[in-house]
Chain A
Amino acid sequence: MPILELDHVVKSFGSLKVTDDVTFSVEPGEALGIIGPNGAGKSTLFNLITGNVRVDAGRVSFEGADVTRMQPMKRCHAGVGRTLQIPQPFEKLTVFENLVVAASMGSQKAESEVTDRCAEILVDTGLIERANALAGGLGLLQRKRLELARALATDPKLLLLDEIAGGLTEAECKSLIETIRAIHASGITIVWIEHVLHALNAVVQRLLVLNFGKVVDIGTPEDMMASNAVREIYLGIEV
């Protein structure tokens, strides 16, 4: 059974169809990359999966259950975690407290039960030294790492990553890839939107190409990179 399934999903903003009859599924333990030019509807697709935006038509299923009308909060409790494209930390809380909120509210556990898990995540995401710093004072890489750590603290089965490698230096990007690989290896299913293709290809098994809200193609990274249609749309090369 697929962990995530989108079935003929449609979403329009006014006369603009941002998601046009999208159908695909993700198997448990898989890592799927989503690419496409700016405005292709990638982030909207995530908003439809998390429930921040309601679908106009079609069906979204998580672990076989229809979640099309479920509130974002409930989907988080069910196991859908996400990072936002522009990191949105709770600025007046410390890095550790950011995780405690996510861990205790996402799982409905007492604070004392989540301390160790939060500390572990901070170690794994390389934030442990800044645990007691205010989140508002972090730099971009650390904000991105916090976004990731906070999503992990909700104990997700499916993790949606939205351009988490964007704006990072080569070295920062490399260490982030290692972190995401480790997360994937721990058994969490990943769907990752990214423009930094080499980062994506280092982790994912399949690539989905989106353009004007439509699924252009889906397949292995090698096939997708070689596909003429993809090269034309995504890389802007006339073939």
Chain B
Amino acid sequence: MDGQTTIWRVETKTRASTAFAIVAALVICAGLAAPMYLPRATLQDLFFILTMLALAQSWNLLAGYAGLVSVGQQAFVGLGAYVMFAGVVLLKLDPLVAILLGGIASALLAIPAGIFAFRLQGAYFAIGTWVIAEIVRLLVAQWKMLGGGTGTSLPASTTRHMQGVDLVHRMFGFRPAQAVDVVCYWLALLLAVAAIFMVYRLLRSRHGLALASVRDNQDAARAVGVDARRLKALVYLASALVTGLVGALIYVQKARISPDAAFSVTDWTAYVIFIVVIGGIGTIEGPIVGVLVFFALQKLLADFGSIYLMVLGLIGIVVMLFAPQGLWGLFASRTGIQLLPVRRLLRGGPIKN
């Protein structure tokens, strides 16, 4: 038949994606060098953007690709941050090591949390994850050695002796406090880029395709041999790890922690959902667009107090009504442009389009 003579190949690249890869490499280089030419305040803004982006990518993976709509990601931010504090304050560890410890702790928390939450579906899953986060918050608030319900601070000396800070201080002549910010900023850049790269690699693998099949039709996916449960569990675990690492890093930079702040559903889940939904859920580009819009709104409306939240809510509703695929989704469907393509196109033979 025709099949024997035709050479088939699979194409995933687009012209836009090749151009984007080059631009992305340049942006990352510019980002790495940013401490040399940007003022400290801008660096702190970038730190905020990058950490929110990493959180958004990990929530997008969970909700947009695995269909696991969690509103309890603050459990992993908070636990990651508190374990980092414990590592630094109680065990006298280097903050960098403590950040890793925080990430691992969050991943470990995801095991029992997942066993409980995976018994629930849809809205019940969402509420279940929130309940878990509240339980963890109440437990951590009992941790007297870390200040209980009122929280505690990182002694300034600990972060100043963090790996790399001294090097930055000596090489570039920044003051120690500034050097801490620079190191934190680089770590945030690393985490954000790693999160995007991890999601992209996953989606390009056959497991990413399997994940999409589970999202489209779980029963049919099982019938063709996809282990839906295992895939979802792995995604849940990976997203908890990233979220925990980011949480720990955020609180190294903040240097002041309390249960209410570290387990805030508004800061670590509601804003993250806003970013993903505005930008475009189920796309890698979406959270990048979303975080920029979010940051701009926050700067613009910073002086308006609680009106700020109402405006965010209104914008969220408007986007959901008129661009349910988010701003990036709207743009991509109008132009057909994909910067990080995951679609596999079969080429060869009598194939149309």
Contact = CB atoms under 8 A, between A and B. Distances in A.
Given A73-B227, A101-B206, A120-B3, A129 B350 contact: yes
Given A93-B216, A106-B225, A119-B8, A101 B209 contact: yes
The interface residues of chain A, by DSSP majority, are classed as helix
A192 interface: no
Interface stretch (B51-59, B112-120, B340-348): B340-348
B213 A90 contact: yes
Given A92-B212, A92-B216, A101-B226, A116 B8 contact: yes
A159 interface: no
A88 B225 contact: no
Interface in B281-312: none
B346 A101 contact: no
Interface stretch (A22-30, A130-138, A203-211): A130-138
A207 to B, nearest CB: 25
A72 interface: yes
A93 B213 contact: yes
A135 B348 CA distance: 19
Given A91-B216, A93-B216, A132 B346 contact: yes
B9 interface: yes
Interface residues of B, number: 35
A123 interface: yes
A48 B350 CA distance: 40
Interface in B311-353: 343-346, 348-353
B10 interface: yes
Given A90-B216, A100-B206, A115-B8, A105 B350 contact: no
A123 B2 contact: yes
A111 B3 CA distance: 18
Contact of B351 (A82, A100, A124, A129): A129
Interface string A36-68: 000000000000001010000000000000000
A105 B224 contact: yes
Contact of A100 (B223, B225, B344): B344
B213 A101 contact: yes
B225 A133 contact: no
A85 interface: no
A154 B225 contact: yes
Contacts, number: 126
Given A111-B206, A132-B346, A102 B224 contact: yes
Interface string A79-95: 00010100011111110
A111 B8 CA distance: 13
B346 A77 contact: no
B345 A119 contact: no
B283 to A, nearest CB: 12
Contact of B220 (A88, A118, A131): A88
B3 A124 contact: yes
A122 B346 CA distance: 11
Interface in B189-220: 205-206, 209-210, 212-213, 215-217, 219-220
A110 interface: yes
Contacts of B349: 119, 123, 128
A77 B224 CA distance: 8
A98 B212 CA distance: 10
Contacts of B343: 94, 97
B348 to A, nearest CB: 7
Nearest to A110: B206
B217 A90 contact: yes
Given A76-B225, A123-B3, A131 B346 contact: yes
Contacts of A105: 206, 210, 213, 224-227
A104 interface: yes
Nearest to B348: A119
B1 A72 contact: no
Contacts of B219: 52, 88
A106 B220 CA distance: 12
A150 interface: yes
A69 B213 CA distance: 25
A123 to B, nearest CB: 5
B217 A88 contact: yes
A180 interface: no
B213 to A, nearest CB: 5
10 contacts: A52-B219, A73-B225, A90-B220, A92-B215, A96-B345, A106-B224, A112-B10, A120-B3, A132-B351, A154-B225
* 6 nearest CB pairs, A to B: A106-B225, A102-B224, A120-B3, A90-B216, A76-B225, A88-B220
